[in-house]
Amino acid sequence: MLNVIDLRGRTPSTAELRRVLPRGGTDVHSVLSTVTPIVEEVRDRGAAAALDYGERFDKVRPAAVRVSAEEIAGAVDTLDEKVVDALKESITRIRKVHAEQKPKPHTTTLADGATVTEVFLPIERVGLYVPGGQAVYPSSVLMNVIPAQEAGATSLVVATPPQADFGGLPHPTILAACHLLGVDEVWAVGGAQAVALLAYGDDGEDLEPVDIVTGPGNIFVTAAKRLVNGVVGIDSEAGPSEIAVLADDSADAVTVAYDLISQAEHDELAASVLITDDEDFAERVNREIEDRYTVTLNSDRVKHALTGQQSGVVLVDDLEAGVAVADAYAAEHLEIHTRDSRAVAERIRHAGAIFVGNYSPVPLGDYAAGSNHVLPTSGTARFSAGLSTHTFLRPVNLVEYDKDALAEIGPHIIALADAEALPAHGEAIRARFEEN
């Protein structure tokens, strides 16, 4: 099923690898003309416009944007006890990992009486978008809310689409996850209109705007995040989900096949890529995929994703070449199925998250590994990171010099100010030492 790209017998450059490796992605620019009027109308008309668009796109209009506290709390009682237990265990693990990510303040002493202290201040109000299209994603609630809480955000709002099947309320599993996390502000609004409402708020409806919008979504959500970036912060412009598997002949073809299938069920545009130096192993994986994908609930979606241009097998000469290809691809999720997989994983420089060995599959990270599953896509792992506690923190420097310390460095400041033709900067230093 997977297309094959054969790189054996040569050493392609980074530029060539970026051209030939499987890559899908979406053209956000192509929908900006559609999304811009939505964002502008929600900016101007607030919740009324958001509800109008929700009625048009989601075929349902909730009585109000804000979900009541009673409806949020009551959703837990609708869930299977096994699901509640699973959510609670995932919360515990994710919270532990993200609590330990928070950096501590530190002070650098440059001279007697001259210090710079770096502190980490939380973003105060956070807007978290949780999609509700092809699947229900309580895991996205956990992955967005917990790092914001651990960073110390003082105010959180979750925006998620209303559902016609639930009388205009968001899906109860989403509401239950919010309740388990202590989130009491949920807006029943989805799509580009949700992002715009988070950014601009609505005075009359007591919907306060946020300072940052995070969370995954479709191309229209991504376009809206691009349009409001600067009014608020955003985490990233996420593309379709992707997995790369770096494997040698020690790997198990069945588990690798299932891992590629599992990622493909996210979206028809999802990417599944196998990188290996063993052609026989690649053929076995392809056969296993062919034999097994039809039994999954989302088989049509899986087939579309696995046969698309964004998925494939990349054949390389050896493990060294495989590492180079994996780094050039910079996968959102990278699995390592090789001998001494930990050592190989530590050689990787570009990946959103690295899953080491046969018993650390990507679905573990999707739900309960403790790590975050909101990760950079489309090769952006070369220069950006996944969601974490750091996303919701701002490093701020406290600069504190006494008189003697400023006097010591003052001549250097004056010299540089004069060199830049900004003499008033130098005068601001001199004035502190002149007799009045």
- Is there a binding annotation on residue 241? yes
Q: In what order do the strands lie in the sheet with 242-247?
A: 4-6, 312-315, 271-276, 242-247, 333-337, 353-356
User: Going edge to edge, which strands form the sheet with 114-122?
Assistant: 106-111, 114-122, 393-401
Task: Establish whether 100 is a catalytic residue.
Answer: no
The continuous run of DSSP H or E covering 399 comes out as strand 393-401
Give the separation between CA 251 and CA 335, rounded to whole angstroms: 11
**Residues 325 and 316 sit within 8 Å (Cβ to Cβ):** yes
Say if residue 329 carries a ligand binding annotation: no
Tell me how far apart the alpha carbons of residues 49 and 59 are, in angstroms, rounded to a whole number.
14
334: helix, strand or coil: strand
| H or E element at residue 109 | strand 106-111
Enter the tokens of residue 4. Answer: 């094959």
Q: Which of 150, 242, 288, 332 is catalytic?
A: 332
Q: Tell me whether residue 218 is annotated as binding.
A: yes
Task: Mention every residue, 6+ apart, whose C-beta is less than 8 A from residue 167.
Answer: none
* Of 347, 348, 320, 324, the residue nearest 334 (C-alpha): 348
Task: Supply φ then ψ for residue 313, to 5 degrees.
Answer: -110, 135
Residue 355 bridge partners (DSSP): 335
Q: What are phi and psi of 252, to 5 degrees?
A: -95, 120
Backbone angles phi, psi at 335, to 5 degrees: -100, 140
Phi and psi dihedrals of 162, rounded to 5? -70, 155
Backbone angles phi, psi at 373, to 5 degrees: -100, 0
Tell me if 337 is assigned to a ligand binding site.
no
Rounded Cα distance, 4 and 279, in Å: 10
250 marked as part of a ligand binding site: no
Positions of E strands within 277-371: 312-315, 333-337, 353-356
Query: Cα angle vertex 334, ends 332, 337, to 5°?
Result: 170
3-class DSSP state for residue 129? strand
For 149-228, strand residue ranges (E) read 155-160, 186-188, 212-214
137 is in an annotated binding site: no
Catalytic residue, chosen from 98, 171, 179, 333, is 333
CA 414 – CA 426 distance, rounded (Å): 4
Q: How many residues does the chain have?
A: 436
| CA nearest to 236, candidates 129, 337, 133 | 129
288 is catalytic: no
118 a known binding residue? Answer: no
| Residue 290 labeled ligand binder | no
Annotated binding residues for NAD(+), written as ranges, equal 129, 193, 218
Catalytic residues: 332-333
Annotated binding residues for substrate, written as ranges, equal 241, 263, 266, 333, 366, 420, 425
Annotated binding residues for Zn(2+), written as ranges, equal 263, 266, 366, 425
